[in-house]
């Protein structure tokens, strides 16, 4: 198999994990873009990302650079792993560095707040005349566990089957199993929307409401995710898969989930600003909640859990009042 150059944009925990996974495959030459000069120096000196992925020794063949043009030059695949709200700006600055029909594999999870767009649309808008081929890699996967080579299964959504199958082969290993799905919109939305419900589950647990409440939030949260997904052109069944239900369960129950941790702390009475300021890594669900709330209103999609989480985050609503209002809504048919 010919050696492929892979450009990974973003040296957070997930970007570093994916770059290392690919670098360990002999047919991949992997370049990781590192924004912070101090982190770049540390990676080059220690071969370890102590900021975002401490304790994991990285592959010696993995290359690092703060020059994004160098990272992108000559790449066959482009992996995006930066916070959602920065993607448009970053791509706009280097759009001329991309070839025609670049294969963009998005590992970020979120919805752009400014224009209320999923990432596939953001990328298509910025790189439109390049005719980008978009894929979304999503599913129940904590960076720490993947970096420890624990068994993990995820989805890769791509409308072009030939590209999707090639990317599926690119990422698959003996411990990282990738399923191809033609519904890229469903895959990307599942990864974004589940973070809102994870905040809700964390808040519920922080309030001490128990397993029943959490299970109810997961189940009704999945219904909300599916409703909005279908309204945006996704297939309902995709939300029953790894990128929907699978990622939702993981993020709502796993203590490595940043969004769940934010919710837990909110439920225990901490202020959102204090929580965010204490975190080095981004909890995508906080900003995604605002985008999803506004998008649901625009489309006329009922999302009662999302509405309450938005009011907790952005209108200082008391979490107990929010739960009470959810429980006292008019009765429905499931």
Residue 1, pLDDT score: 61
Whether residues 142 and 23 fall in one domain: yes
Q: Which of 182, 213, 230 is a domain's end point? A: 182
- Estimate to the nearest angstrom the gap between the alpha carbon of 314 and the chain centroid: 22
Q: Which two tokens stand for residue 250?
A: 């993981």
Residue 26, pLDDT score: 85
What is the rounded CA–CA span in Å between residue 247 and residue 201? 13
Q: How deeply is 254 buried, as exposed, middle or buried, from its count of CB atoms within 10 A (0-12, 13-18, 19+)?
A: middle
Phi-psi region of 302 (alpha: psi -120 to 50; beta: other; left: phi over 0): beta
What count of other Cβ atoms lies within 10 Å of the Cβ of residue 45?
8
In sequence order, the 6+-apart residues with CB closer than 8 A to the CB of 142 are: 250, 254, 256, 257
pLDDT by 10-residue block (mean), the chain, 334 residues: 90 98 94 97 96 97 97 98 96 96 97 97 97 98 98 98 98 98 98 97 97 98 98 98 98 96 97 93 91 98 98 97 96 94
Say which of 194, 235, 298, 332 is annotated catalytic: 194
Cα three-residue angle 76-77-83, rounded to 5 degrees: 150
The tokens 């990272």 sit on which residue?
71
Whether residues 204 and 70 fall in one domain: no
Whether residues 93 and 10 fall in one domain: yes
Would you tell me the crossing angle of helices 119-126 and 184-206 to the nearest 10 degrees? Answer: 130
CATH number at residue 36: 3.40.50.720
Cα three-residue angle 204-205-211, rounded to 5 degrees: 95
With the C-alpha atoms ordered 170, 97, 89, 280, is the resulting torsion angle positive or negative? positive
What is the rounded CA–CA span in Å between residue 216 and residue 296? 21
Cα three-residue angle 145-165-17, rounded to 5 degrees: 25
Whether residues 147 and 285 fall in one domain: no
- Characterize the bridge pairing of strands 4-9 and 28-33: parallel
Catalytic-residue membership of 194: yes
- Total domain count, the chain: 2
Tell whether 187 is covered by a domain: no
Whether residues 19 and 141 fall in one domain: yes
Best CA proximity match to 136, nearest among 109, 166, 99, 165:
109
Range of the domain at 127: 4-182
- Find the helix or strand (DSSP H, E) in which 108 lies: none
The CA–CA distances, whole Å, from 230 to 104, 248, 287 equal 24, 17, 22
Q: Which of 125, 153, 182 is a domain's end point? A: 182
CATH number at residue 304: 1.10.1040.10
Against a cut of 0.85, is the pTM above it? yes
Q: Which of 135, 157, 182 is a domain's end point? A: 182
Residue 197 half-sphere exposure, CB side, CA atoms within 13 Å?
A: 33
Residue 102 half-sphere exposure, CB side, CA atoms within 13 Å?
A: 28
Q: Is 184 helix (H, G, I), strand (E, B) or coil?
A: helix
Q: How deeply is 255 buried, as exposed, middle or buried, from its count of CB atoms within 10 A (0-12, 13-18, 19+)?
A: exposed
Whether residues 212 and 151 fall in one domain: no
Residue 3, pLDDT score: 84
Best CA proximity match to 303, nearest among 313, 314, 294:
294
Best CA proximity match to 12, nearest among 72, 75, 84:
84
């Amino acid at each position: 198999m010919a050696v492929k150059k892979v450009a990974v944009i973003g040296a957070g925990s997930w970007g570093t994990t994916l770059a290392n996974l690919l670098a360990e495959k002999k047919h991949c030459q992997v370049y990781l873009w590192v924004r912070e000069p101090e982190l770049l120096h540390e990676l080059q000196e220690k071969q370890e990302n102590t900021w975002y992925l401490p304790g994991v020794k990285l592959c010696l063949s993995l290359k690092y650079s703060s020059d994004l043009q160098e990272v992108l030059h000559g790449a066959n695949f482009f992996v995006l792993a930066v916070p959602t709200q920065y993607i448009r700006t970053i791509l706009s600055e280097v759009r001329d560095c991309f070839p025609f029909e670049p294969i963009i594999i998005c590992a970020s999870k979120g919805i752009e707040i400014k224009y209320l767009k999923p990432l596939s649309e953001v990328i298509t808008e910025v790189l439109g005349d390049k005719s980008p081929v978009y894929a979304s890699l999503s599913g129940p996967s904590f960076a720490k566990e993947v970096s420890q080579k624990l068994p993990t299964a995820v989805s890769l959504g791509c409308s072009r089957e030939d590209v999707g199958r090639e990317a599926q082969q690119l990422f698959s290993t003996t411990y990282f199993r990738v399923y191809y799905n033609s519904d890229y919109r469903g895959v990307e939305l599942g990864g974004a929307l589940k973070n809102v419900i994870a905040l809700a589950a964390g808040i519920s647990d922080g309030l001490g409401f128990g397993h029943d409440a959490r299970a109810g939030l997961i189940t009704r949260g999945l219904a909300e995710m599916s409703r909005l997904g279908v309204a945006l052109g996704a297939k309902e069944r995709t939300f029953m898969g790894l990128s929907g239900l699978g990622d939702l369960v993981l993020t709502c129950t796993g203590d490595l989930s940043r969004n769940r941790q934010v919710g837990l702390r909110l439920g225990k009475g901490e202020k959102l600003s204090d929580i965010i300021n204490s975190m080095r890594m981004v909890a995508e669900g906080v900003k995604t909640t605002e985008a999803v709330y506004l998008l649901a209103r625009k489309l006329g999609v009922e999302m009662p859990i999302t509405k309450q989480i938005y009011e907790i985050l952005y209108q200082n609503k008391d979490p107990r009042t929010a739960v009470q209002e959810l429980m006292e809504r008019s009765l429905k048919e499931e």
